[in-house]
Amino acid sequence: MANRELLKQLIETFTCLPGVGRKTAQRFVYHLLERDRPGGAALAELLRETVEKVGNCEHCRMFTEHPQCAICRDPGRDRALICVVENPADLMALEANTNYRGLYFVLHGKLSPLDNIGPREIGLDLLEQTLRKNSVRELILATGTTVEGDVTAHVIGELAARCRTKTTRIAQGVPVGGELEYVDASTLAQAFNTRTRVGGDGAQS
């Protein structure tokens, strides 16, 4: 490998990032070398440190370099609420767009027997411990609405029932700002079937 140009190796390695092909990787590398060497050095150092130090929070499995993540350490958070999400990006989206002040639980995936992803791989044993130990008032299921997401939500719902924890799932229906005409068939049928009462408390059941 000592014989190969460093630059070519770096360009090739950049293509390990999702959505980055050879051309983009080349643009990244030339940009850093021509205009932002300090940025490149900082990126290299932070990336090394992150890959080395960042693991999972012992409570919620979110990425963190500490034993517990910033949200689990925050004393202002309501410890009686837990919101289950498939991955860290979903958690960040909820944090950015809702005023939810409870804790989270990150599955890092969804149940998929064909890919050998069972309850243990998505941390359901740890979630069960938490539900049995703590006095969780409400477990909010915020997994995706794909088939695997539905199955995962169902399995976690049953687990919570065994632990006698109240469970809710985020609403499915027509997107805000959506014209009915352009909404896909299954979403429309689902929205129609789970219609909520107007002028009442709006709860589905």
Residue 176 burial (CB count, 10 A): 5
Size of the site for a copy of itself (CB under 8 A): 48
Single residue of 21, 31, 67, 172 touching a copy of itself by CB under 8 A: 31
Report how far residue 165's alpha carbon sits from residue 185's, in angstroms, rounded to the nearest whole number.
Answer: 33
Nearest of 11, 103, 3 to residue 60 by alpha carbon = 103
User: By CB under 8 A, what part of segment 161-180 binds a copy of itself?
Assistant: none
Alpha carbons 61 and 89: distance in angstroms, whole number: 13
Instruction: Verify binding: residue 45, a copy of itself, rule CB under 8 A.
Output: yes
Q: Judged by CB under 8 A, which of 21, 58, 61, 64 binds a copy of itself?
A: 64
Rounded-to-integer distance, Cα 172 and Cα 93, Å: 17
CB of 205 to a copy of itself, least distance (A): 35
Per CB under 8 A, the segment of 58-66, 114-122, 145-153, 173-181 that binds a copy of itself is 58-66
Q: Is there binding between residue 74 and a copy of itself (CB under 8 A)?
A: no
Q: Which of residues 91-150 bind a copy of itself (CB under 8 A)?
A: 92, 108
Q: Is 154 in the site for a copy of itself (CB under 8 A)?
A: no
Angle at the Cα of 67 from the Cα atoms of 143 and 138, rounded to 5 degrees: 35
Closer CB to a copy of itself, 3 or 193, in the complex: 3
Using the contact rule CB under 8 A, the part of the chain among 19-27, 140-148, 168-176, 180-188 near a copy of itself is: 19-27
- Strand positions, DSSP E, the chain: 55-56, 63-64, 78-85, 102-106, 138-141, 167-169
106 by Cβ neighbours in 10 Å (0-12 / 13-18 / 19+) ranks as: buried
Interface residues with a copy of itself (CB under 8 A)?
5-7, 9-10, 13-14, 16-19, 24, 26-34, 36-37, 39-54, 63-65, 70, 87-89, 92, 108
